[in-house]
């Protein structure tokens, strides 16, 4: 019966001049999310999007629930601006609603809610609602009106060209369409936190470009595969993700050889940020993103963050900085990265790392230690050996 899905977007409607950029981006993101379902056109009219329901509703909804920027959607019946056609649609929609709902004690409570955006339509909203209410009561004896807490609400929207009639409102994921906030380089490890950090920024409209530091042969091919798998999961929320796999082994060996063990992690993280920033500049990304959470490990104290941040100019987004591990785990489970993240493959951060890393590193001391390293040459060499893999389906 439903041939159309109405899509609402919340926040992007409030963005003034940028509005059409947001709308076009959302439209394009919806189109690519629905690829393969035989739905070519996504129609845009009056701050709404409409998708023809040519595929199974559940399959369409499942895909759309991963498109950031959508606040909610409703399967709707679209009819001309004609009271009789609206009446007929209301009866149809109610019949479908009655098939779904389990009326308790035999009676189902309902109300009709009309919105008349088109003031040229001759019947006012309250009159329309009460007329339709009467028609429905007559048609379905098991109904009772309850305007305060109805089990079912028949919504009627009267717009410029058509009227829309529906009962259901399915929540969308919210957020901003991926791409509208620009690109960000996501430092993606195989751990629990960084995929969640990437998801969080995607939800704010950032298109991620991932960078992974790999320490082959100290870390296995399988540990790299795991990171690519994580990128594929993230890609289901916003399209293919390029992953730059940086060979980090030589850098780690050099640090291990020339710098004090307790500064190993700090210096490693400074090298990671420098490399990530170099890739960001090449790719036109405006920020770096990490999965750091304050106090979680030695490298995530204020002092450590100050010292690592000092080597880059781009802002570093740390969307999980104030999150507890349990909250991060919950979100990881929800978005589908948790099971992959807990697979036990070694991470480059665990190689050569001392038992007691410095929790409060000092910038001058770290800079002195680093002076023994050919930083520029190491970075250039690592960049040249970087491998690019696109993860996720177009
Ligand atoms: P995660 O769960 O994301 O691995 P973590 O709690 O293990 O984080 P660290 O190992 O200190 O914390 O890493 C902090 C952040 O640095 C990570 O969230 C990630 O953004 C980045 N990072 C760490 N290791 C790598 C790596 N091998 N490749 C890319 N980024 C990394
Ligand atoms: Mg980690």
Instruction: Give, using CA atoms, the residue closest to atom 26 of ligand 1.
Output: 189
Measured from the CB, is residue 391 less than 6 Å from ligand 1? no
Query: pLDDT digits over 220-271, tens only?
Result: 889 999 999 999 999 999 999 999 999 999 999 999 999 999 999 999 999 9
Hey, whose CA ends up nearest to atom 9 of ligand 1? 292
Instruction: Burial-class residue 113 by CB neighbours within 10 Å (0-12, 13-18, 19+).
Output: middle
Reading the block at residue 220, the tokens are 């296995």
| Spatial separation of the C-alpha atoms in residues 304 and 207, rounded to whole Å | 27
187 CB less than 6 Å from ligand 1?
A: yes
pLDDT of residue 350: 66
Q: Is the CB of 349 under 6 A from ligand 1?
A: yes
Q: What is the C-alpha separation between 149 and 166, in angstroms, rounded?
A: 17
Burial of 88 per CB tally in 10 Å (0-12, 13-18, 19+): middle
Residue nearest to ligand 1 atom 10, measured at CA: 349
**Nearest residue by C-alpha to atom 31 in ligand 1:** 189
| pTM for the model | 0.93
For the Cβ of 292 lying below 6 angstroms from any atom of ligand 1, the answer is: yes
User: How far apart (Å, rounded) are the C-alpha atoms in residues 348 and 335?
Assistant: 25
Ligand 2: centre distance to CA 284 (Å): 26
Q: How far is the CA of 188 from the centre of ligand 2 (A)?
A: 9
- Indicate whether residue 189 lines ligand 1 (CB < 6 A): yes
Residue 114 Cβ < 6 Å to ligand 1: no
Cβ of 193 less than 6 Å from ligand 1: yes
* Ligand 1 center from residue 116 Cα (angstroms): 52
* Cβ-based burial of 57 (10 A; exposed 0-12, middle 13-18, buried ≥19): middle
Residue nearest to atom 8 of ligand 1 (CA): 193
Q: Ligand 2 centroid to 55 CA: how many Å?
A: 41
186 within ligand 1 shell (Cβ under 6 A): no
Query: Residues of the chain whose pLDDT is less than 70?
Result: 11-16, 102-105, 347-351
What separation in Å is there between the alpha carbon of 194 and the centre of ligand 1? 6
The string of pLDDT tens digits covering residues 34-60 is: 998 888 789 988 889 999 998 788 999
* Nearest atom in ligand 1 to 187's CA: 30
The Cα–Cα gap between 249 and 271 comes to 12
Domains of the chain plus CATH, in order, are: 4-171 (3.30.2130.30), 183-391 (3.40.50.620)
Instruction: Please tell me the distance from the alpha carbon of residue 191 to that of residue 344, in angstroms, as a whole number.
Output: 10
């Amino acid at each position: 019966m439903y041939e159309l899905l109405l899509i609402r977007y919340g926040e992007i409607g409030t963005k003034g001049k940028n509005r059409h950029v947001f709308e076009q981006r959302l439209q394009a993101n919806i189109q690519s999310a629905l690829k393969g379902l035989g739905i070519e056109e996504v129609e845009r009219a009056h701050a709404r999007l409409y998708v023809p329901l040519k595929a199974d509703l559940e399959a369409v909804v499942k895909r759309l629930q991963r498109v950031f920027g959508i606040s909610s959607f409703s399967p709707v019946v679209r009819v001309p601006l004609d009271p009789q056609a609206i009446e007929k649609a209301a009866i149809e929609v109610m019949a479908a609603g009655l098939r779904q709902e389990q009326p308790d004690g035999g009676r189902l409570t309902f109300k009709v809610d009309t919105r008349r955006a088109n003031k040229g339509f001759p019947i006012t909203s309250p009159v329309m609602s009460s007329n339709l209410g009467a028609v429905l009561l007559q048609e379905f004896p098991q109904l009772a009106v309850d305007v305060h807490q109805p089990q079912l609400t028949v919504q009627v929207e009267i717009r410029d060209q058509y009227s829309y009639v529906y009962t259901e409102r399915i929540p969308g994921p919210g957020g901003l369409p991926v791409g509208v906030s620009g690109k960000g380089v996501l430092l993606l490890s195989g751990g629990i936190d960084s995929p969640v950090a990437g998801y969080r920024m995607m939800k704010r409209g950032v298109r991620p470009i991932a960078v992974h530091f790999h320490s082959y042969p100290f870390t296995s091919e399988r540990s790299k595969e795991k990171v690519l798998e994580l990128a594929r999961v993230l890609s289901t929320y916003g399209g293919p993700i390029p992953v730059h796999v940086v060979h980090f082994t030589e850098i780690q060996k050099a640090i291990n050889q020339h710098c004090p063990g307790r500064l190993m992690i700090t210096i490693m993280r400074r090298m990671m940020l420098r490399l990530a920033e170099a890739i960001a500049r090449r790719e036109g990304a405006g920020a770096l993103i990490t999965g750091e959470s304050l106090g979680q490990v030695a490298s995530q104290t204020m002092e450590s963050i100050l010292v690592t941040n000092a080597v880059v100019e781009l802002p570093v987004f740390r969307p999980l900085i104030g999150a507890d591990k349990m909250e991060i785990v919950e979100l990881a489970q929800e978005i589908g990265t948790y099971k992959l993240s807990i697979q036990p493959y070694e991470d480059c951060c665990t190689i050569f790392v001392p038992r007691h890393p410095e929790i409060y590193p000092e910038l001058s001391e770290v800079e002195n230690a680093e002076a023994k390293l050919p930083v520029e040459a190491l970075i250039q060499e690592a960049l040249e050996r970087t491998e690019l893999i696109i993860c996720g389906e177009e």
